[in-house]
Amino acid sequence: MLWNGWEQELKMYTKNMKSNKFDFSNVDDFDNHIKLSIPNFETLDNIFSAITKEFAQPESYVLDLGCSTGRYLNNLDKIEDTNYVGFDIVNFKNRRKGFDYENLDIEEALIKYENENVSTIVCMFMLQFLGFAKRKRVVSLLKKYIDKGAIILLSEKVYLEDTRLQTLLHRLHIQEKRKNFNDKDILDKDNQLSVSMFCKTQNELDKELSKIGDTTKVWQSYNFMGYCIKNHWLYKD
């Protein structure tokens, strides 16, 4: 089965829609749920947007892998003569505008654009939903883009090696979510994601990303991480 960063979210929403608990036919509701589920998500969004604007090049492509509603690309301060393309296999009825959209799996998208001039790739909470073999193939493809001069903005949820700290951060995150969701909603979502999300430990992720390129952590909230990955030979101070 093909996974992207938001497909499990959408499945949960569809289930809840049947009980009239949520109505996620409105893209604003979906985007708001993500914002409320991930602490300090807006800060991550602002950081990634600023980096995208800094590194995006005219006559190049900016790719958003697992773009869901298209919120990220829609809100970007666009650079003239730059092509913005979002990819997702979930079809939102009222996807946001302001960019090109292709109904492609992320691996297919990376293969399709491999010979294009791509300056920036955005992967927001997407790799963690891929199985081991598929993730390995996608990471290998991402490295090819880095080697040609693209930058990658990637966010992931990780597990800490220190189980005591991991338990503490999880408890604090639950407390944050209780400000916006009831305990049953939180438990239902955690149970569903536990069988579809394959998080790495922080050390495992750092090791994996270091093989792609020069990796800098630019954001962290609890055990959610945001990275900028680039080829240090091409982007010196």
Asked whether the CA dihedral 197, 200, 205, 208 is positive or negative, the reply is negative
CA distance 66 to 135: 14
| pTM for this prediction | 0.86
User: Average pLDDT over the chain, rounded to whole?
Assistant: 86
Asked whether the CA dihedral 23, 93, 35, 107 is positive or negative, the reply is positive
For residue 121, the model assigns a pLDDT of 98
CA distance 16 to 33: 13
Asked whether the predicted pLDDT for residue 51 surpasses 90, the reply is: yes
- Cα 24 versus chain centre, distance: 19
User: Domains in the chain, please, with CATH?
Assistant: 7-161+190-230 (3.40.50.150)
Q: What is the mean pLDDT of residues 113-120?
A: 97
In percent, the amount of the chain with pLDDT more than 70 equals 87
CA distance 180 to 190: 15
